[in-house]
Amino acid sequence: MPDPASRGVEPDIGADLLALIRARPERLISLTEISTLSSPARRRTAFRLEFAGGLTLKGRRLESPERAQRVERILGLAGDGFPRTIDRRGDALLLQWIQGRALASLDPVPPAALERCGRILGALHQLATPELPDVRIPAPEDLLAKLRRDTGLLADAGELDSGLGRTAVETAAALAPRRASSGVIHKDFCAENIVLDDSGSPVSIDNAALSVGPHDLDLARTWYRWEMNPRDRSHFLRGYERHRGSVTFVEHFAFWAICVLAGSASIRLRARLGGHREPLIRLRRLLEFLETDAVDHPLWVV
């Protein structure tokens, strides 16, 4: 295969990823973009790279060199359930390619795989927090301030009734924890981003958002991104609790969920990703449910 630059793809993969490819001793024979999200406001991309000799790697270009370094450092601390980093330069990473079946394609997902996924996320949340000078961990009051900004932006755009936005903020403020456990978080841990490898073990293959932050906010993101029935969620949490308890998450679930839903809608609207109405529908459903004083915890039903 000719040099990627000669095929006019250099603007897509970026200079740093191109340099990593050129530095490999094997000749590149195939480059395929595998990114699932497209946004004119973001340049994050991912590629399947096939080299002579049968080697396959994953190439990632992130938003900045700082983000790429952050992901590299955290993957270096993570154990089973994550791919190895092969190399990094600037905003680009070369990663181990994981071949397997997408967890999202399985119905049902085996209970053992769900429990193992919970263990993977729980172990991630127990990692020692690396020094990341470009990241500030938000406290609950910071998340409330962000929630006010997010609901204000959505209301100004005509996507959220201002009264519902006020209700969301007031409800979250009333149910917010005083403090929150924080450390390494994934931010996108869901069936869509996990495969079962050749041995049948789950591996998280999309880790571009790895960072630090509140653990329970990360659990709420998984709740939002990965809809499970009560049986499946109990298997997942059983695995998670092998490393970290979920009591604080359950106690303050509505706070974390409201922050995640409004935040997701705001991000999707600002980044022009589309799909911002889905989290708003779930936000309305959650707020309506909380008004009913139902005995079942909303963790299982919204």
pLDDT digits 0-9 by tens, 177-231: 999 999 999 999 999 999 999 999 999 999 999 999 999 999 999 999 999 999 9
The CATH label, of 1.10.10, 3.10.100, 3.30.200, 1.10.357, for the domain at 4-96 is: 3.30.200
* Domain edges within the chain: 4-96, 101-300
Residue 300 pLDDT: 47
pLDDT digits 0-9 by tens, 15-38: 999 999 999 999 999 999 997 665
- 299 pLDDT above the threshold of 60: no
Residue 38 pLDDT: 55
Question: Cα 193 to chain center, whole Å?
Answer: 8
**For 101-300, which CATH class?**
alpha beta
pLDDT digits 0-9 by tens, 48-71: 999 999 999 999 999 999 999 999
Residue 43 pLDDT: 64
The pairing of beta strand 56-61 with beta strand 45-51: antiparallel
pTM of this structure: 0.92
Residue 208 pLDDT: 96
If you ran DSSP here, which 8-state letter would residue 126 be given? T
pLDDT band for position 42 (cuts 50, 70, 90) = low
pLDDT digits 0-9 by tens, 227-282: 999 999 999 999 999 999 999 999 999 999 999 999 999 999 998 889 999 999 99
Q: What is the 3-state secondary structure (H, E, C) of 172-213?
A: HHHHCCCCCCEEEECCCCCHHHEEECCCCCEEECCCCCCEEE
The pairing of beta strand 194-196 with beta strand 182-185: unpaired
Do 4-96 and 101-300 share a fold? Answer: no
- Lowest mean pLDDT across 88-92, 160-164, 176-180, 286-290: 286-290
pLDDT digits 0-9 by tens, 71-129: 999 999 998 999 999 999 999 999 999 999 999 999 999 999 999 999 999 999 999 99
Q: Are 101 and 196 in contact (CB under 8 A)?
A: yes
